[in-house]
C-alpha cells in the first residue's frame, strides 16, 4: 500500500479520465492475474453501458470478458461460486438500482459465508456498479443506494471519487479475501485527473483530506467530493476555511480521520447524495456526535438529496440533489456570520 | 445612515447590560475607550465589576463616544445609561442632528420633536438597542455549544456572563475566544476575585498563560549572586525601632530595587505588542503570590519607582492580604509591566522564571543562604541570594540583561538608597 506524494501526482503524473482509469485497472488485473475475469450485462463486445470495459473483450477474449443474461441474481450468484472456486471475478452490475435484484446473493450469501462456515469459506468477489444522479436517467437509474450496502457486516464498500482511486482501488479489492463492492459515480466518468501510474494498490479503509481547512469539515463521498471542493473554494473567497474529506470507504467508515478533523474545526457538514432519512449521513452524524460531542461548536449538519425518487426533468433533478450552492449555504449557516 | 435621520436619533445611550441571570447592579471599573473614539460593533468599551467577576463589555453598535454618564467605581443598576454615543453616518462620520420629525409608523413610540432624545431613548420600548442585550430572563437556560462549554470550563469563565452570538443566542467558540482574550489581557491571570475561582480553573488559566509564554516568547536566562549582608543589616537596624506593623520586609526591598533598575533600563519594563516591544511609562511591579490552597496570583504595586519603600511595603501588605482573602481588585491585576517571583527562605536556590505575557521580563530571587564569599582578599560568610532574569530575547539581548541584573544588585547592596 502506498500513499501518493503530492509532487508525484500533481506535477509528473499523466492525467486520465475516471473511466479510463477504471478500464486501466481492469486491464492490468486481467493481464497480470489469470484468475481474474469480468462478467456482466453487455460488458463484452458492447463495452459496458458506461463504456468502462470497452476494448477489453477484443484484447482478452470471451472467456475473460463475459456477457451475462439480464439476471442480476443469477450472475452475481455465479460470481460468488467462481470466487469460492478459486477465481477472482469482477462482476459489473449496470447500476445500483439493479443490484437490488442481487441483494439476496450479496447480503445473504457473499456477506455471510465466511461467518457461517466458521471461517472455512471466504468469498473474494469484486462487484463494480454505478451510482448517482445527474445524467437525466430518471429514478430507476439515478439513486444512490450505497448506504444500504454500507449497513451490512461482511461487505466492504468503497467509492472512488478521483481517477487515481478509480485506478488503484481495484487491485486492493481483488487482493481482499472477502467481498468488496466498488461504487462508481456516473457523473464522474468523464472527470479528468492525475493518476500516478506507479502508485500501486491503495488502502480501502481510510478517508482522505482533499482540501485542508480550519473552520468546518465537509464530509463527502463519490460525486459529492468535487462539489464539496468547489464549494470550499467559494467559501474561501468569503473568508470561510473549509476542510473537505473524501470518505473513500463507506464500510468501514474512517471515523478516526473525521473525528480528528472535527477536533480541529469544531463544525461538520455531512454531504450525501443519498436520502437523509436513515441514510449513511445519519450514521456519520451520529458517530461524530458520539465521538466529538465536547468538540462541537454547532450541531453536526447534514445536506442530503430531497426525499423524492430522483426526477427525470433536468431542473427537478438538479434541485433534488445537493449542488455547490447548497453546500456553500449549509456551510455558511453552520459557521455563522463572519 | 438613513434610519437615524428618519428617527431623528443622532445619539444613543448604552445601558449597563445584565451580564448574568442574577446580576441587577454593577460598577464600571475601567473605560476602555475615550471621549471622541469611534467604536464598532464588538469593540470592548469598559470593564464592569459584578458580584461574580470583572467583565469586559462590548458595544453592539457603531458610534462615536460622546460622554460618559456614570463615574468609575459607582454602583449602578442594570439598565442605567452609562455612555452616550453618536451614530455614524454611512460614510463612517458622525450623523448630525436634523430635528426632522419621523414619519416611520412602525416605531412603538413617536420620536420626540426635541433633538435631545435621551429621555425617549431610555424608555424600554424604544429602539435604543435594537439587538437584544445579554440574557436577562433569570429562568432561561444558558445555551452554549458543547465546545464552548468545554472552553469556558477550561478557562474558568462563567457562561452566563458571556453573550452568545450563535443560533438562538447560543454561546459558541468565538464568544468564548472573545471573552478569553479579554481575560488574558487582564495580565494577572484572572478577571474574577479569587474567592470565586476554583483551584482547577486557576490551574487552567495558569496553564494557558504559561503555555503561551513558552510558545511565543524566546526566553533567555541570566543569573547573578547578590550579597544581602548590607541589606539584612540595614533592615534589622531600621526595623528595630519600629512597631511590627511598620516593619519593612526584604520583599519590599526587592520590589524597589527592581523598580529603580527598570527605571534605568526601560527596555525591560512594558509589553510585547504585535511585533515590537512597547516600553511602559509607569513601572508596575507585579509580585507572584502563592495561595495556600494552590495556584498563584500576580497583583502589582503601581509606579513602584515613584513610591517610597514604606509606601511599597504598605501596598505589598495590602496585596498579600487581598490575595489570600480573595478580594483583589481588577485595577491591581491589570497593567503589570514587570514581574518578580520570590521563592522566600524555604524555597529553592534559584529560579529560571517564565515571563508573564505580554510582559518583557521576570526577575526571580531564590532563598537567601549563607555562603563563602570573597571580599577583596578575604573569604567571609555572607547571606547570598541568586537573582535571575528571564527576558524576552525579541526585545533585549544578554548584554542588556547583564546590565539590568547588575543594577538590581547594586540597589540591593546599597539599601540606604532604596
pLDDT of residue B23: 67
Grid coordinates given for B319 = 496585596
Residues B256 and B116 in one domain: no
**Mean pLDDT computed over A219-232:** 97
Q: Are strands A192-194 and A15-17 parallel, antiparallel or unpaired?
A: antiparallel
Q: What is the pLDDT of residues A243-280, one digit of tens each?
A: 999 999 999 999 999 999 999 999 999 999 999 999 99
- The per-residue pLDDT for range A185-198, each reduced to its tens digit, is 999 999 999 999 99
Average pLDDT over residues B69-74: 86
Candidates B135, B131, B130; CA nearest to B170 is B135
Does residue B200 have a pLDDT over 80? no
State yes or no: pLDDT of B198 exceeds 90: no
Q: Are residues B281 and B382 in the same domain?
A: yes
Query: What pLDDT, on the 0 to 100 scale, is given for residue B101?
Result: 40
The CATH number linked to B372 is 3.30.559.10
Instruction: Please report residues of A whose CB lies closer than 8 A to that of B145.
Output: 266, 296-298
Using a CB-CB cut-off of 8 Å, the residues of chain B touching A295 are 146-147, 150
Residue B184 is assigned to a structural domain of this protein? no
Considering the domain boundaries, does residue B137 fall inside one?
no
- Given a cut of 90, whether residue B63 has pLDDT beyond it is no
pLDDT of residue A11: 56
**How many residues does this entry show for chain B?**
418
pLDDT greater at residue A275 or residue B16: A275
Q: Does A336 touch chain B (CB under 8 A)?
A: yes
Highest mean pLDDT among A125-129, B227-231, B284-288, B363-367: A125-129
Are the C-beta atoms of B319 and B287 separated by less than 8 Å? yes
Asked, for residue B203, whether it belongs to a domain, the answer is no
| Claim to verify: residue B265 and residue B383 sit in the same structural domain | yes
CA distances from A163 to A53, A81, B41, B43, B267 (A): 16, 31, 48, 50, 60
Domains of chain A: 13-194 (3.40.50.970), 208-335 (3.40.50.920)
Domain assignment present for residue B152? The answer is: no
Residue B67: per-residue pLDDT: 87
pLDDT band at B96 (very low <50, low <70, confident <90, very high): very low
Which of B86, B108, B132 represents a domain boundary (last residue)?
B132
Per-residue pLDDT at A135: 87
B148 occurs within a structural domain: no
Q: Does residue B227 sit in the same domain as residue B345?
A: yes
Same domain flag for B243 and B121: no
CA dihedral A123, A124, A127, A128 (to 10 degrees): 170
Question: Is A72 one of the catalytic residues?
Answer: yes
Per DSSP, A285 falls in state H
B133 pairs with which residues across the strands? none
Tell whether B381 and B270 lie within a shared domain. Answer: yes
What pLDDT does residue B133 have? 42
Three-class secondary structure of residue B272 per DSSP = strand
What residues of chain A, 237 to 276, have a C-beta less than 8 Å from chain B?
Answer: 266
pTM: 0.54
Chain B contact present for A295, CB below 8 A: yes
Question: A221-230, B10-19, B301-310, B335-344: lowest mean pLDDT where?
Answer: B10-19
Query: Do the Cβ atoms of A142 and A310 come closer than 8 Å?
Result: yes
Domain extent for B394: 210-417
Residue A286: is its pLDDT beyond 90? yes
Which band of pLDDT confidence, cut at 50, 70 and 90, is reported for residue B182? low
Q: List the end-to-end C-alpha distance of chain B, in Å, as a whole number.
A: 60
Closest CA to A131 of A250, A274, A31: A274
Report the residue of chain A nearest B148, measured CA to CA. Answer: A297
Q: What is the pLDDT, as a whole number, of residue B210?
A: 87
Read off the pLDDT of residues B127-140 as tens digits, 9 standing for 90 and up: 333 333 444 444 55
Q: What angle do CA B351, B353, B355 make, to 5 degrees?
A: 165
A296 touches chain B (CB under 8 A): yes
Whether residues B128 and B228 fall in one domain? no
pLDDT band at B181 (very low <50, low <70, confident <90, very high): low
> Nearest chain A Cα to B169, which residue?
A336
B150 with A297: Cβ contact below 8 A: no
Q: Which of A20, A92, A141, A143 is catalytic?
A: A141
Write down the pLDDT at residue B52.
Answer: 57
Pairing type for strands B54-58 and B38-39 reads unpaired
B342 to B197, B239, B309, B364, B388: CA distances (angstroms): 23, 21, 17, 6, 10
Shortest Cα distance, chain B CAs vs residue A203, angstroms:
33
Give B71 or B384, the one with higher predicted confidence: B384
Say whether B147 and A295 touch across the interface (CB within 8 A): yes
- Is A200:A241 a contact under the CB 8 Å cutoff? no
CA distance to B43, B181, B190, B304, per residue, from B185 (Å): 14, 6, 9, 21
Mean pLDDT of B14-29: 76
How much is the pLDDT for B129? Answer: 35
pLDDT of residue A172: 97
Q: Is A291 on the interface with B (CB under 8 A)?
A: no
Q: What is the pLDDT of residues A69-109, one digit of tens each?
A: 999 999 999 999 999 999 999 999 999 999 999 999 999 99
- CA B341 to CA B288: how far, in whole Å? 5
Q: Are residues B349 and B261 in the same domain?
A: yes
Regarding whether B113 and B220 lie in a shared domain, the answer is no
* Cis peptide preceding B358, ω within 30 of 0: yes
Q: B102 falls in which pLDDT band (50, 70, 90)? A: very low
Of B146, B172, B173, Cβ closest to residue A293: B146
Full DSSP string of B210-257: HHHHHHH--EEEEEEEEE-HHHHHHHHHHHHTS-GGGPPPHHHHHHHH
What is the per-residue pLDDT for B40? 86
Q: Is residue B170 in a domain? A: no
Tell which residue, B358, A331, B125, has the closest CA to residue A322: A331
Q: Facing residues of B13 across strands?
A: B84
Count up the domains in chain B and report the number. Answer: 2
The domain that holds B52 is classified in CATH as 2.40.50.100
For residue B107, with 0-12 CB atoms within 10 Å meaning exposed, 13-18 middle and 19 or more buried, which class applies?
A: middle
CA B398 to chain centre: 29
Q: Closest chain A residue to B167 measured between Cα atoms?
A: A336
Is pLDDT of A20 > 80?
yes
Residue A185 contacts residue A161 (beta carbons within 8 Å): yes
Q: What is d(CA A55, CA A47) in angstroms, rounded to the nearest whole number?
A: 6
Contact: A266, B147; criterion CB under 8 Å: yes
Chain A neighbors of B147, CB-CB under 8 A: 266, 294-297
Residues B121 and B256 occupy one common structural domain? no
- Of B132, B167, B200, the position where a domain reaches its end is B132
Residues B391 and B242 in one domain: yes
Has residue A285 got a pLDDT over 80? Answer: yes
**Separation in Å, CA of B148 to nearest CA in chain A:** 6
Candidates A20, A24, A41, A72; catalytic one? A72
Which residues in chain A are contacts of B146 at CB distance < 8 A? 293-297
Asked if B165's CB is within 8 angstroms of A297's CB, the reply is: no
Residue B357 lies in a domain: yes
| Measured CA distances, B75 to A293, B80, B322 (Å) | 41, 10, 21
- Residue B282 domain-assigned (yes or no): yes
DSSP A308: S
Residue after which a domain boundary falls, among B71, B101, B132: B132
Domain check: are B125 and B248 in the same one? Answer: no
Give the pLDDT score at B132.
39
Amino acid at each position: 500500500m502506498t500513499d501518493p506524494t503530492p509532487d508525484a501526482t500533481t506535477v509528473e503524473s499523466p492525467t486520465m479520465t475516471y473511466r479510463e482509469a477504471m478500464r486501466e485497472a481492469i486491464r492490468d488485473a486481467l493481464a497480470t492475474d489469470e484468475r481474474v475475469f469480468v462478467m456482466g450485462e453487455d460488458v463484452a463486445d458492447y463495452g459496458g453501458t458506461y463504456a468502462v470495459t470497452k476494448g477489453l473483450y477484443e484484447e482478452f477474449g470471451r472467456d475473460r470478458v463475459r456477457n451475462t443474461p439480464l439476471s442480476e441474481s443469477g450472475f452475481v450468484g455465479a460470481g460468488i461460486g467462481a470466487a469460492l472456486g478459486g477465481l477472482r471475478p469482477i462482476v459489473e452490475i449496470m447500476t445500483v438500482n439493479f443490484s437490488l435484484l442481487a441483494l439476496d446473493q450479496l447480503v445473504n450469501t457473499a456477506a455471510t459465508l465466511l461467518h457461517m462456515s466458521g471461517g472455512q469459506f471466504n468469498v473474494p468477489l469484486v462487484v463494480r456498479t454505478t451510482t448517482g444522479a445527474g445524467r437525466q436517467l430518471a429514478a430507476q437509474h439515478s439513486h444512490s443506494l450505497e448506504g444500504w450496502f454500507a449497513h451490512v457486516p461482511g461487505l466492504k464498500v468503497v467509492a472512488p471519487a478521483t481517477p487515481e482511486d478509480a485506478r488503484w482501488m481495484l487491485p486492493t479489492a481483488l487482493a481482499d479475501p472477502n467481498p468488496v463492492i466498488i461504487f462508481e459515480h456516473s457523473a464522474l466518468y468523464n472527470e479528468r485527473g492525475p493518476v500516478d501510474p506507479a502508485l500501486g494498490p491503495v488502502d480501502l479503509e481510510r478517508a482522505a483530506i482533499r482540501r485542508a481547512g480550519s473552520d468546518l469539515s465537509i464530509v463527502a463521498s463519490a460525486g459529492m467530493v468535487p462539489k464539496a471542493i468547489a464549494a470550499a473554494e467559494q467559501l474561501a473567497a468569503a473568508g470561510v476555511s473549509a476542510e473537505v474529506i473524501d470518505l473513500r470507504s463507506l464500510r468501514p467508515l474512517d471515523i478516526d480521520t473525521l473525528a480528528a478533523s472535527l477536533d480541529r474545526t469544531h463544525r461538520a457538514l455531512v454531504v450525501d447524495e443519498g436520502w437523509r432519512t436513515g441514510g449513511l449521513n445519519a450514521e456519520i452524524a451520529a458517530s461524530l456526535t458520539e465521538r466529538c460531542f465536547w468538540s462541537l461548536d454547532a450541531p453536526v449538519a447534514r445536506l442530503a438529496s430531497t426525499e423524492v425518487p430522483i426526477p427525470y426533468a433536468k431542473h427537478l433533478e438538479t434541485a433534488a440533489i445537493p449542488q455547490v450552492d447548497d453546500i456553500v449555504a449549509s456551510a455558511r449557516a453552520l459557521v455563522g456570520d463572519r | 445612515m438613513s434610519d437615524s435621520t428618519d428617527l431623528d436619533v443622532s445619539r444613543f445611550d448604552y445601558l449597563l447590560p445584565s451580564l448574568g441571570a442574577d446580576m441587577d447592579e454593577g460598577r464600571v471599573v475601567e473605560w476602555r475607550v475615550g471621549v471622541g473614539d469611534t467604536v464598532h460593533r464588538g469593540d470592548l468599551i469598559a470593564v464592569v465589576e459584578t458580584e461574580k467577576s470583572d467583565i469586559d463589555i462590548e458595544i453592539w453598535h457603531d458610534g462615536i463616544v460622546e460622554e460618559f454618564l456614570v463615574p468609575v467605581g459607582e454602583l449602578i443598576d442594570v439598565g442605567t445609561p452609562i455612555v452616550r454615543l453618536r451614530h455614524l453616518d454611512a460614510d463612517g462620520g458622525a450623523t448630525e442632528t436634523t430635528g426632522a420629525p419621523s414619519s416611520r409608523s412602525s416605531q412603538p413610540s413617536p420620536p420626540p420633536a426635541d433633538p435631545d432624545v435621551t429621555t425617549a431613548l431610555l424608555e424600554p420600548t424604544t429602539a435604543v438597542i435594537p439587538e437584544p442585550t445579554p440574557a436577562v430572563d433569570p429562568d432561561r437556560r444558558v445555551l452554549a455549544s458543547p465546545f464552548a462549554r468545554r472552553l469556558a470550563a477550561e478557562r474558568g469563565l462563567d457562561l452566563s456572563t458571556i453573550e452568545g452570538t450563535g443560533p438562538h443566542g447560543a454561546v459558541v467558540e468565538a464568544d468564548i475566544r472573545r471573552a478569553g482574550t479579554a481575560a488574558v489581557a487582564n495580565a494577572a491571570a484572572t478577571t474574577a476575585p479569587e474567592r470565586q475561582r476554583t483551584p482547577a480553573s486557576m490551574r487552567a488559566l495558569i496553564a494557558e498563560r504559561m503555555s503561551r509564554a513558552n510558545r511565543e516568547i524566546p526566553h533567555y536566562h541570566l543569573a547573578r549572586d547578590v550579597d544581602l549582608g548590607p541589606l539584612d543589616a540595614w533592615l534589622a537596624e531600621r526595623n528595630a525601632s519600629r512597631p511590627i506593623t511598620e516593619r519593612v520586609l526584604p520583599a519590599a526591598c526587592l520590589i524597589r530595587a527592581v523598580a529603580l533598575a527598570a527605571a534605568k533600563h526601560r527596555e525591560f519594563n512594558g509589553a510585547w505588542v504585535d511585533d515590537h516591544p512597547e516600553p511602559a511609562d509607569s513601572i508596575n511591579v507585579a509580585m507572584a503570590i502563592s495561595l495556600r490552597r494552590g495556584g498563584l496570583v500576580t497583583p502589582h504595586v503601581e509606579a513602584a519607582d515613584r513610591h517610597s519603600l514604606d509606601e511599597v511595603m504598605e501596598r505589598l501588605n495590602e496585596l498579600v492580604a487581598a490575595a489570600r482573602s480573595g478580594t483583589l481588585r481588577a485595577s491591581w491585576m491589570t497593567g503589570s509591566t514587570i514581574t518578580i517571583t520570590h521563592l522566600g527562605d524555604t524555597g529553592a536556590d534559584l529560579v529560571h522564571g517564565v515571563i508573564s505575557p505580554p510582559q518583557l521580563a521576570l526577575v526571580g530571587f531564590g532563598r537567601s543562604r549563607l555562603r563563602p564569599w570573597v571580599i577583596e582578599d578575604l573569604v567571609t560568610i555572607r547571606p547570598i541570594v541568586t537573582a535571575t532574569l528571564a527576558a524576552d530575547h525579541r526585545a533585549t539581548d544578554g548584554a542588556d540583561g547583564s546590565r539590568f541584573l547588575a543594577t538590581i544588585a547594586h540597589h540591593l547592596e546599597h539599601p540606604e538608597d532604596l
